[in-house]
């Protein structure tokens, strides 16, 4: 009871702390730093708490003293919880060892996401079942414990998330279903959910993996199988996410233009190509609806069965967009072509978007998401990304609302149960990126053996 009354506040009079990943701490010795991660080890002594923090880039020993050890969060802290630690980075005295050769003397800390104790405790679940099939079910937790061994292994040969899966990411309508030893399974639509589970062991992650979409659309930019570059980042906010996507695109272009061979190829295929300037335009979904209306860009009217409504001449009836409407490919393309430079569209309505997306605070009874699409002239969307729901109960409610069964997602849900964190990520279709860069009419030209509806030969 007493501990619940002890509240720790960060002393605003102290020098500003710089946010850093553990691997980048060395140059910041003797300074105040701010680190985020998972409680890897925990030792409590009289008046002292020692934490070994893990963020996927390394380990950091931290020491809590005084009131920092007396709060309710301090007394109930468990392994695999997520915390923010702020303090001064000190070289460990001669004769003592710590990862990296330094230690954090914490002056402020905060619990971000707790982790259960008792039966459900991380260590109980991971260590007490030697049965290989239970260990396989718990792979998403086991990889945290393996972190140190996994990092060199997976990065040296670029281990990737699976293609054969039993969960959906982007909606049932585009899933390729197959019979998997008598059980239903799918070809992956996105590696996102798996990347999320890697944050606690590998830190910020990316993969380049095939994705499969049973799209019913014969368009210039849809393939049934495409190369998907996806990334996931921990302890970021929505603004960081968009800045990151912009940086990835611009730095990739810079590298390609700095290389004489690729620069020549781009020049040949797309003679007028110029590297885009930063920052990219950011337009909210609501502003885009206004923009479309002002520019007379309409959408086909549909009946309740999503069939087009015809006018008296038998032509498809075109109507203005209103908030809540999907901005379909044709309208999106017209908008990007008029604007003529890369732009983010962000803040789509929750009902149009995937179940896992983090919501913005509700506005006039409408809920928008922390989601963004990066649109490029000639192609339209080349990247889709979002912040993810952090809270376990909110996620479970989202499965229910979308009619998604909760049980198969236990491993994705556990990510929120054992030390949740603010995180987000994105996926880029490589063929679409190339269609933009090389000014191709269709993504089919950017794939060696393109697959589109009905086409899987040769
Ligand atoms: O917007 P999407 O569906 O987002 C996801 O799959 C997220 N789970 C990604 C993430 O956050 N990790 O797809 C992402 C990108 C699109 O922007 C597009 O470039 C590409 O994947 N894409 C396709 N490319 C070719 N053919 C298709 N049928 C595609 N569907 C998506």
- Across the range 267-282, mean pLDDT stands at 97
The model's confidence at residue 5, banded by pLDDT at 50, 70 and 90, is confident
CATH number of 2-115: 2.40.50.140
**What residue owns the CA closest to ligand 1's atom 27?**
222
pLDDT in the model for residue 157? 67
For ligand 1, say whether the CB of 78 is within 6 Å of any of its atoms: no
Residue 393, classified by CB atoms within 10 Å of its CB into exposed (0-12), middle (13-18) or buried (19+), is exposed
DSSP class of residue 3 equals H
**What residue owns the CA closest to ligand 1's atom 11?**
426
Q: pLDDT tens digit string along 359-406?
A: 999 988 999 999 999 999 999 999 999 999 999 999 999 999 999 999
Where in the chain are all domains bearing CATH 3.30.930.10?
Answer: 147-280+341-446
- Across the range 204-224, mean pLDDT stands at 93
pLDDT above 90: residue 110: yes
Are 72 and 81 a contacting pair, CB within 8 Å? no
Q: pLDDT tens digit string along 6-34?
A: 899 999 999 999 999 999 999 999 999 99
- Residue 105 β-bridge partners: 63, 88
**What residue owns the CA closest to ligand 1's atom 29?**
222
ipTM: 0.99
pLDDT above 70: residue 149: no
Nearest one of 427, 420, 412, 87 to 234, comparing CA atoms: 420
How far the first Cα of the chain sits from its last, in Å, is 70
Q: pLDDT tens digit string along 259-268?
A: 999 999 999 9
pLDDT in the model for residue 4? 75
β-pairing, 48-54 vs 59-65, is antiparallel
Q: pLDDT tens digit string along 309-362?
A: 999 999 999 999 999 999 999 999 999 999 999 999 999 999 999 999 999 999
Tokens of 406: 């909760």
Nearest one of 235, 238, 236 to 370, comparing CA atoms: 238
Rg (CA), the chain: 25
Tokens of 260: 């004489």
For residue 4, how many other CB atoms are within 10 A of its CB?
10
pLDDT in the model for residue 132? 87
pLDDT in the model for residue 366? 94
For ligand 1, say whether the CB of 431 is within 6 Å of any of its atoms: yes
pLDDT in the model for residue 233? 98
pLDDT above 80: residue 156: no
What does the alpha-carbon distance between residue 210 and residue 227 come to, in Å, rounded to a whole number? 5
For ligand 1, say whether the CB of 429 is within 6 Å of any of its atoms: yes
pLDDT in the model for residue 272? 96
CATH number of 147-280+341-446: 3.30.930.10
More confident residue, 398 or 153: 398
Ligand 1 pocket mutation pick from 160, 214, 432, 434 by most atoms within 8 angstroms of CB:
432
What does the alpha-carbon distance between residue 434 and residue 429 come to, in Å, rounded to a whole number? 9
**pLDDT above 90 as % of the chain:** 86
Are 100 and 26 a contacting pair, CB within 8 Å? yes
pLDDT in the model for residue 130? 75
What does the alpha-carbon distance between residue 51 and residue 78 come to, in Å, rounded to a whole number? 10
In the reported structure, the alpha carbon of residue 209 is separated from the centroid of ligand 1 by a whole-number distance in angstroms of 12
For the chain, how many residues are written? 458
Where in the chain are all domains bearing CATH 2.40.50.140?
Answer: 2-115
For ligand 1, say whether the CB of 332 is within 6 Å of any of its atoms: no
Are 79 and 89 a contacting pair, CB within 8 Å? no
Cα 233 to the chain's mean position, in Å? 6
**pLDDT above 70 as % of the chain:** 97
In the reported structure, the alpha carbon of residue 429 is separated from the centroid of ligand 1 by a whole-number distance in angstroms of 6
pLDDT above 70: residue 103: yes
Nearest ligand 1 atom to alpha carbon 381: 17
Region of poorest pLDDT, from 224-238, 252-266, 298-312:
298-312
Nearest ligand 1 atom to alpha carbon 174: 28
Mean pLDDT of the chain: 94
Q: Is the peptide bond before 137 cis (omega within 30 degrees of 0)?
A: no
Tokens of 140: 């998403």
Helix (H) or strand (E) holding 386: strand 380-387
The model's confidence at residue 216, banded by pLDDT at 50, 70 and 90, is confident
For ligand 1, say whether the CB of 380 is within 6 Å of any of its atoms: no
Ligand 1 pocket mutation pick from 205, 208, 224, 226 by most atoms within 8 angstroms of CB:
226
Region of poorest pLDDT, from 130-134, 201-205, 365-369:
130-134
């Amino acid at each position: 009871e007493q501990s619940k009354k002890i509240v720790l506040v960060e002393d605003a009079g102290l020098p500003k702390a710089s946010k850093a990943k553990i691997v980048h701490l060395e140059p910041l010795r003797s300074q105040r730093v701010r680190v985020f991660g998972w409680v890897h080890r925990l030792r409590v002594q009289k008046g002292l708490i020692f934490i070994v923090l893990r963020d996927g880039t390394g380990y950091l020993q931290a020491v809590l003293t005084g009131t920092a050890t007396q709060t309710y969060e301090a007394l109930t802290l468990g392994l695999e919880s997520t915390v923010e630690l702020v303090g001064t980075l000190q070289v460990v005295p001669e004769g003592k060892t710590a990862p990296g050769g330094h230690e954090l003397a914490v002056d402020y800390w905060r619990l971000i996401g707790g982790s259960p104790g008792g039966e459900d405790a991380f260590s109980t679940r991971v260590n007490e079942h030697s049965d290989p099939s239970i260990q396989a079910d718990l792979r998403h937790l086991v990889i945290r414990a393996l972190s140190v061994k996994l990092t060199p292994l997976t990065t040296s040969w670029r281990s990737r998330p699976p293609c054969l899966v039993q969960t959906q990411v982007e909606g049932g309508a585009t899933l390729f279903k197959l019979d998997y030893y008598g059980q239903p399974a799918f070809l992956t639509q996105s590696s996102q959910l798996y990347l999320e589970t890697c944050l606690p062991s590998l830190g910020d992650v990316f993969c380049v993996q095939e994705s499969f979409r049973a799209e019913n659309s014969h368009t210039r930019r849809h393939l049934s199988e495409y190369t998907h570059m996806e990334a996931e980042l921990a302890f970021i906010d929505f603004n960081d996410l968009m800045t990151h996507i912009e940086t990835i695109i611009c730095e990739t272009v810079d590298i390609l233009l700095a290389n004489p061979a690729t620069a020549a190829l781009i020049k040949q295929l797309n003679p007028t190509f110029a590297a885009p300037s930063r920052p990219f335009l950011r337009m909210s979904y609501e502003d885009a609806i206004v923009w479309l209306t002002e520019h007379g860009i309409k959408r086909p009217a549909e009946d309740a069965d999503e069939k087009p409504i015809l006018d008296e001449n038998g032509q498809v009836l075109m109507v203005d967009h209103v908030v809540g409407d999907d901005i379909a490919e044709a309208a999106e393309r017209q908008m990007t072509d008029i604007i003529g430079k890369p732009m983010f569209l962000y803040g789509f309505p929750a009902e149009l978007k995937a179940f896992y997306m983090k919501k913005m605070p509700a506005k006039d009874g409408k809920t928008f998401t922390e989601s963004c699409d990066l649109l490029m002239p000639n192609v339209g969307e080349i990247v889709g990304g979002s912040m993810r729901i952090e809270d376990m109960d909110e996620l479970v409610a989202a499965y229910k609302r979308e009619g998604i069964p909760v049980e198969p997602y236990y491993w994705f849900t556990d990510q929120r149960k054992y030390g949740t964190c603010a995180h987000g990520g994105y996926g880029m279709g490589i063929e679409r990126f190339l269609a933009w860069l090389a000014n191709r009419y269709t993504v089919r030209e950017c794939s060696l053996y393109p697959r589109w509806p009905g086409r899987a030969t040769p």
